[in-house]
Amino acid sequence: MPERHSRRVERGPRPYLKAELSTQEMRLKQMGAKIEVINSFLCYIRFEVDGVKVKYVYNLNRKGQFFLERVTPYPQPAGTFDSEKDVVESIRNDIAQIKQLARSSHFKELIDMNSDLRFLARRLDSICLYYDVKPEDIATIRDSLEHLHGVFDAIRGHSDRVYFDTEPFCLDREGEVPPDREDD
């Protein structure tokens, strides 16, 4: 009977991952991309807060900073941080705010509206990429956005503040850069 040699057989995408990444890199370079490959880590964090699943993901960018994003109950970039300590502090504050939000009688409705707003952003992207949008249509969209900003300003003006540990980062329109627009 022939002698059997045991050997480890890798299954799944691992054996081909490097080859696929090299192929993707080559294709992107052919398209004109400049690629910088960094060895990094991706960290998933999961909580359950008052019956609400809250998930985050963060990774290390090429500048050695941590990019944090809340994934659920709705996606929201939290920004970039210089240390893991800052990431933990941001998550601590966000969890406290989610607890506060979960107590609201409008919690599900607020989550649904956030989903609708994200879908509108995707629709705007699609309409601009696939159609020659007329200037008057751009003006209509801009006017609608200005109206919505006004609604948010009015709500802020007549509503009681419920969280005080940190200051809101995106309520004032002047001089603020949303976290997803920062340079990485």
Cα–Cα distance measured from residue 159 to residue 153, given in angstroms and rounded to the nearest whole number: 10
Element (H, E) at 38: none
Q: Is residue 169 part of a domain?
A: no
Cα–Cα distance measured from residue 165 to residue 100, given in angstroms and rounded to the nearest whole number: 12
Cα–Cα distance measured from residue 75 to residue 56, given in angstroms and rounded to the nearest whole number: 9
More confident residue, 182 or 84: 84
Residue 66 has pLDDT above 60, yes or no: yes
Number of domains in the chain: 2
Q: Is residue 179 part of a domain?
A: no
Residue 35 has pLDDT above 50, yes or no: yes
On whether the pTM is more than 0.85, the answer is: no
Q: Which domain holds residue 78?
A: 24-103
With bands split at pLDDT 50, 70 and 90, how would you rate the model's confidence at 184?
very low
Q: Is residue 38 part of a domain?
A: yes
Q: What is the pLDDT of residues 124-154, one digit of tens each?
A: 999 999 999 999 999 999 999 999 999 999 9
